[in-house]
Structure 1
Amino acid sequence: MAGITLVTGANGFVGAEIVGQLRAQGAAVRLAVRSSTGAADEVVVGGIGAETDWSAALVGIDRVMHCAARVHQMDDRAADPLAAFRAVNRDGTATLAQQAAEAGVKRLIFLSSIKVNGETTKDRAPFTAEDAPDPRDPYGISKWEAEQALHAIAAKTGLEVAIIRPPLVYGPGVRANFARMVSWVARGHPLPFGLCGNQRSLVSVTNLASLAIEASKHPEAAGATLLASDGETVSVRDLLSRIGVAFGRPARLLPVPPALLRLTGSLTGQRAAIDRLCDPLVIDGEPARRLLGWHPPVTMAETLAAMAAAR
């Protein structure tokens, strides 16, 4: 890959994987970070927003992989969550793209979210890139608005933009909800998801990084919106069982009806979390694979095994 690639959020879960794969391919990489880690190839940009100065980070850059974001938060304490998400995810992204275009950057890859499509594929076909956006929470709204800002800047400047919308990303080092599920199984806790047969698409962090790198160099990716997935769907029940197999600790799944789980969630203020576990969310990732001639390099079983080995 010619030129230098700038990776924002380079210390994060996805950004670090992209950096690792790029280096393994012999690519020149520059890391944009919030605060210094002492690495020779990093540039400190501080907080991300409308006023961020990216000039030092963008010198000599050919491509930008924009992974930095204010991520979805289960217990958001911001006084105005939508404004907080917009400040980083929309305004910060637009500022980076505008400055990148002015600096002569050729292409920007934006890590968006499947939440732009919506929260569930219940009673409908799998999500596609052609679906009308239907974001339901501040995080999803901010990502959709960022996508629109990027398309507007691309139209005015000629900056090539490719957008990737992943679902739940997992792999070694994952945190938040997936880490909690792994912990539940590893500790042998009884889990009330034995009847949760809903199908969900996921994407391994290895596969997501591989897709992003391919999108950064493939000529057909310019202007495209790509939905990322492993290419297989799995129910929450089966996912927990697979985690158990990988970690050598069979999942203890209780046959609790999903309707009862939802009722309990409503009574305890956890209905949204239960819905995310019990509702289907299936992605049609075939168009992205066909467009780029790309195939996921690892399977779910291989990723779960890697997680177990890294534990």
Structure 2
Amino acid sequence: MERAILVTGASGFVGSALCRTLVAQGGLAVRGAVRRPGLPMPANVSTFTVGELDTSTDWAAALAGVEVLVHAAARVHVMHETASDSLAAFRRVNVDGTLHLARQAAAAGVRRFVFISSIKVNGEASQPGRPLCADDVPAPSDAYGISKHEAEQGLFQLAATTGMEVVVVRPVLVYGPGVKANFHTMMRWVAKGLPLPFGAVDNRRSLVSLGNLVDLIITCMKHPQAVGQVFIASDGDDVSLPRLLRGLGREIGRPARLLPVPPALLQLAAGLLGRRDLAQRLLGSLEVDISKNRQVLGWVPPFTLDQGLRTTAHSFLENRH
């Protein structure tokens, strides 16, 4: 039987980019698992519709002949939670569903399971001069981060009893062509020439371009020293919010209009509007240290921050309506 790579969440932002790169590189056959039929998929990827990710999912057909599995499907962090029990909802998919898949994968003879986790396992913020590291004591604070941490723990326990190799990748904020949510909103702000009150913000955020994340995942799929390890995915170039907006403005062709409003006033306004979470993401710091990636894998980000912003901004310009 032909040996294959299976990517779950293959129609998503990260999964589809990974599938396209794997197909371009050649080698093992590439399969993509999706929740429902009809979702757009990269060319030359065999598609398996598996339904919802929970303890009833039957992965047998998708797993047959699979050598490496990259699990990118998840119940993702949501801005406006609707579930009455948020943690239970995240656990149902991200913990129970993931471990159900992993047990079937081990039984099917899958050699390596690469789990796409989240920096939220480390926490929500970093202190000045103390970037978060992959081997720090986990400190998740929201339901999404807790569920990802519990899934990591369960996977390593399963690896110890089955011999299936497990690797965990925790990305920081991912951006790239087609990015949505807050990053897309920032590009719209800049493109419209809106005055933005962030000129006095002096924070540091780690980001990771889609190209760098995909490259690290593929390294973790292959490298013998990756087994049993956790790696953080980042561009390795921390950026302040003003520098990020100026970089986007440069690539969009519309200089960012930044006003020097004191961050304390911005925090106060966000609190009055009930948007402290958004203020933390925009104004707070979250720096990471990816030196472990170089030390263990010999991996350095192949793309610079400026290159990542360029491809992201140019895609935004090509596709805006």
- Bin the TM-score by the shorter chain: over 0.9
- Mapping of residues 113-262 of structure 1, within 5 Å: 113-123=118-128, 125-262=130-267
Measure, in 2, the Cα distance between the counterparts of 1:132 and 1:179. Answer: 32
RMSD: 1.3
**Residue type at the aligned position of 1:256:** V
Measure, in 1, the Cα distance between the counterparts of 2:258 and 2:93. Answer: 39
The partner residue of 2:272 within 249, 267, 271 is: 267
Whether the 8 Å CA contact 1:122–1:279 is kept in 2: the answer is: no
Whether the 8 Å CA contact 1:3–1:60 is kept in 2: the answer is: yes
The partner residue of 2:309 within 281, 304, 309 is: 304
Superimposed CA distance per residue, residues 277-298 of structure 1 (whole angstroms, 9 cap, x where no aligned partner)? 1111111011113211122121
Q: TM-score, normalised by structure 1?
A: 0.97
SS, match of residue 206 in structure 2:
strand
Q: Does 1:16 align with 2:16?
A: yes
Deviates more, 1:164-173 or 1:119-128: 119-128
Indicate the residue corresponding to 1:85 in structure 2.
90
**Residue type at the aligned position of 1:25:** Q
SS, match of residue 262 in structure 1:
helix
Displacement of 1:9 in angstroms is 0.3
SS, match of residue 288 in structure 2:
coil
Q: TM-score, normalised by structure 2?
A: 0.94
Indicate the residue corresponding to 2:36 in structure 1.
35
SS, match of residue 200 in structure 1:
coil
SS, match of residue 233 in structure 1:
coil
Displacement of 1:270 in angstroms is 0.2
SS, match of residue 61 in structure 2:
helix
Q: Does 1:52 align with 2:49?
A: no
Indicate the residue corresponding to 1:71 in structure 2.
76
SS, match of residue 199 in structure 1:
coil
Whether the 8 Å CA contact 2:293–2:300 is kept in 1: the answer is: no
Whether the 8 Å CA contact 1:36–1:44 is kept in 2: the answer is: yes
Whether the 8 Å CA contact 1:29–1:41 is kept in 2: the answer is: yes
**Residue type at the aligned position of 2:143:** P
Measure, in 1, the Cα distance between the counterparts of 2:299 and 2:38. Answer: 33
Q: Does 1:103 align with 2:102?
A: no
- The gaps in structure 1 that reach 5 residues or longer are none
Displacement of 1:124 in angstroms is 5.7
Displacement of 1:123 in angstroms is 4.4
Whether the 8 Å CA contact 1:120–1:281 is kept in 2: the answer is: yes
Superimposed CA distance per residue, residues 120-149 of structure 1 (whole angstroms, 9 cap, x where no aligned partner)? 002461111121110011110010010011
Whether the 8 Å CA contact 1:204–1:230 is kept in 2: the answer is: yes
Measure, in 1, the Cα distance between the counterparts of 2:177 and 2:148. Answer: 25
Measure, in 2, the Cα distance between the counterparts of 1:176 and 1:241. Answer: 19
Deviates more, 1:184-193 or 1:301-310: 301-310
Measure, in 1, the Cα distance between the counterparts of 2:276 and 2:146. Answer: 20
- The gaps in structure 2 that reach 5 residues or longer are 317-321
Whether the 8 Å CA contact 2:198–2:241 is kept in 1: the answer is: yes
The partner residue of 1:112 within 90, 111, 117 is: 117
**Residue type at the aligned position of 1:104:** G
Aligned length: 310
**Residue type at the aligned position of 2:37:** S
SS, match of residue 289 in structure 2:
coil
**Residue type at the aligned position of 2:15:** G
